[in-house]
Amino acid sequence: MEFRYLGNSGLKISEITYGNWLTHGSQVENDVATQCVRAALDEGISTFDTADVYANTAAETVLGEALKGERRESLEIFTKVYWPTGPKGKNDTGLSRKHIMESINGSLERLQTDYVDLYQAHRFDTETPLEETMQAFADVVRQGKALYIGVSEWTADQIRAGVELSKELGFQLISSQPQYSMLWRVIEDEVVPASEELGVSQIVWSPIAQGVLTGKYEPGQAPPEGSRATDTKGGADMISRFMKDDVLTAVQGLKPIAEDCDLTMAQLAIAWVLQNDNVAAALVGASRPEQVADNVKAAGVRLDADVMARIDEALGSVVVRDPGLTAANSPKSRPV
C-alpha cells in the first residue's frame, strides 16, 4: 500500500481507501461486510470512509463493529453529515449547527470511537449560512470530536469560501470528495485547480464508474445477474447515466490497454484517477473480500503518457467534462 498526505496537512492516508456506501447495512450481509473490512486491513488499507446517511446510519454501525479491537491510532476513519437520517424530521438534515452537533455524536457512538479523523459536509447547504456551518465545524474540532474537516461535491467557489472561513476560525478544511473517473471528469477544470491553490486534496468516489469500467456491462446485453445495474435499492439509479451503448462500447476499447499494462480493467481505472496529483485517495467498496485484494493492486501503479493518451482516444466523446455539473447536481434545497 502507498500513502499520501491529505491536503496541506500532516495526515497521511492510504491511497486506496475503503468506502462502505451502497454495501454495508443494505446490499451485503453484516458478516460479509466484516470480511471485506478485514480483507482491507490485511491488504494494508488504513483509511475507511462512511456517512451517517448510508443505509440510514446502519453502515456506520457495521463499520464500527468490523473495526472493533483494531488500534485506533493506526486507522483513519472518515464520516459525513448533511443528508436526512433517523426519522427525517425537519432538523434531521442539512448543515445547521443543531444537525451537525447532534450528528457527530450519533456517528461517534455508532463507530465506537471518540473522534473521527475527517468529518465531511456531504453536500453544500443552501439554507444555512456558511458562517453557521463553519462555526459548528470549528467547535467539533475544538471539542476533539474531529481532527480535520472536508467537503463533498462542493463547487470551486464553495470550497474557496469554506477554506477562507476555516482559516478565520482556526481549523483545517483539507479535502473534497467528488465523483471522478475516466468517464466523469467534471472536477478537472475548476475544482482541481482551486483545490491545488488552497491546499485541498480530492478523495474521489466511484473511480470505476459504479462498475462500468470493469467492462462487465456489454452493449446490447442485459446486465449480469446480481450486478449493481440490477440493484433496486439505489445502485441501478446511480449507474444509469453510464448504461448507454455508446459508453459501454467505448469502455470495451479499454480491454487491450489494461492487458498491455498487465492490469485488470478495474485496476486500470483506479490507477488512472491516482495519476492526478491532486487526488489523495481512490474510494473503493466491495461486496466480496476478493474484490478488495484485486483493487489494491492499483496502489503505486504509474501509467505512462502513452497509456494515458490511449485511454483518452478509446473513450473519446463519451467522457463527461462539464464543470457546471457539480453545481447542477447539487441539491437546491435541503432534502427531506
Measure Cα distances from 227 to 90, 96, 195, 214, 224 in Å: 35, 37, 34, 12, 6
Please give the single-letter amino acid code of residue 304.
D
Supply the pLDDT for residue 226: 60
Percentage of the chain beyond pLDDT 70 is 93
What is the grid cell recorded at 302? 504509474
Q: Which helix (H) or strand (E) holds 18?
A: strand 16-19
Measure Cα distances from 239 to 211, 228, 244 in Å: 8, 7, 10
- Taking 3-state DSSP, the helix, strand and coil percentages for the chain, each rounded to the nearest 5, stand at 45, 15, 40
Supply the pLDDT for residue 231: 62
- Averaged pLDDT of the chain: 92
192 and 327 Cβ atoms separated by less than 8 Å: no
Q: Which helix (H) or strand (E) holds 3?
A: strand 3-5
Least confident of 29-43, 118-132, 227-241, 247-261: 227-241
Q: What is the dihedral of CA 107, 110, 112, 118, to 10 degrees?
A: -30
Q: Which of 54, 82, 180, 217 is catalytic?
A: 54
What is the grid cell recorded at 228? 449493481
Span 43-91, pLDDT tens digits: 999 999 999 998 888 899 999 999 999 999 999 999 999 999 988 889 9
Q: Which residues lie below 8 Å from residue 239, measured CB to CB, with a gap of 6+?
A: 209, 210, 211, 212, 228, 229
Span 191-200, pLDDT tens digits: 999 999 999 9
How does DSSP assign 128-147, residue by residue?
A: S-HHHHHHHHHHHHHTTSEE
Q: What class is the 3-328 domain?
A: alpha beta
β-strand 3-5 against 12-14: which pairing, if any? antiparallel
175: pLDDT strictly greater than 60? yes
Euclidean distance between CA atoms 100 and 80, whole angstroms: 10
103: pLDDT strictly greater than 50? yes
Where residue 29 falls among pLDDT bands split at 50, 70, 90? low
- Residue 180 catalytic? no
Span 282-333, pLDDT tens digits: 999 887 889 899 999 999 999 999 999 999 999 999 999 999 999 999 999 9
